[in-house]
Structure 1
Amino acid sequence: MQPRARATGRFETPHASRYLQQLCKHFAHKLEVRYDDTSGEVALPTGPCRLTAGDGCLIAEVAAEDETGLERARAIIDSHLARFAFRESFRNMSWS
């Protein structure tokens, strides 16, 4: 599968590394995952997801075969972050 659609999401948070690690540990129960404190790669069913924790923000880059898959990938990341970042009243990443 060669991804054709891509999106980048941004979440401003002082806890970027913590959320990156939580996401990766969670996904590792069912998916192929590699990560450290500042970066991670998750083999989502829709396509690859790359996570980066920087100073004050978490970046997620997702890819999929088409727009439907891309929407699903964004929803997967958003829904899991909503559970992990509830104390910050997280709703959705800023996707572009």
Structure 2
Amino acid sequence: MSGAPTIWVARVPTPSASRYLQQLAKHWSHKMTVSFTEEEGTIDFPNGSKLEMRADPETLDILLTVPEGEDTARMREVVASHLDRFAFREAPLTFDWRAGE
């Protein structure tokens, strides 16, 4: 289907998921449209990509939607590298990226 976005999901094991979600949201809130709570966050990128996160006590679940024509590998790397920066005590985090629906 032409024009369809690419969706990537990852489950990141970490006991600090809520903290990292909030740090990332605050970090990007100066440049992008961001909404977040302790458990959920959404970040809208200027290129049309969207990052949705959900934190529980053991994992950070990530849903990354990238518009057709954008560099999906680069977007995954941007998200992972920023989260690793906040998780420096336990980095590198494990991102099990897989295609979503």
- Normalised by the shorter chain, which TM-score bucket? 0.7 to 0.9
Change (3 A) 1:75 1:83: same
The residue number in structure 1 matching 2:29 is 28
Residues 65-95 of structure 1 deviation map (CA, whole Å, 9 limit, x = unaligned): 2374322221111110111111102255111
Gaps in structure 1 of 5+ consecutive residues: none
The residue number in structure 2 matching 1:75 is 77
Gaps in structure 2 of 5+ consecutive residues: none
State the TM-score, normalized to the length of structure 1: 0.88
Q: Identity of counterpart residues, as a percentage?
A: 34
Within 2, Cα distance between the matches of 1:84 and 1:40?
16
The structure whose Rg is larger is: 2
More helix, by proportion? 1
Q: After TM superposition, which residue ranges in structure 1, 4 or more long, deviate above 3 angstroms?
A: none
- Size of the aligned set, in residue pairs, is 95
**CA RMSD across the alignment:** 1.7
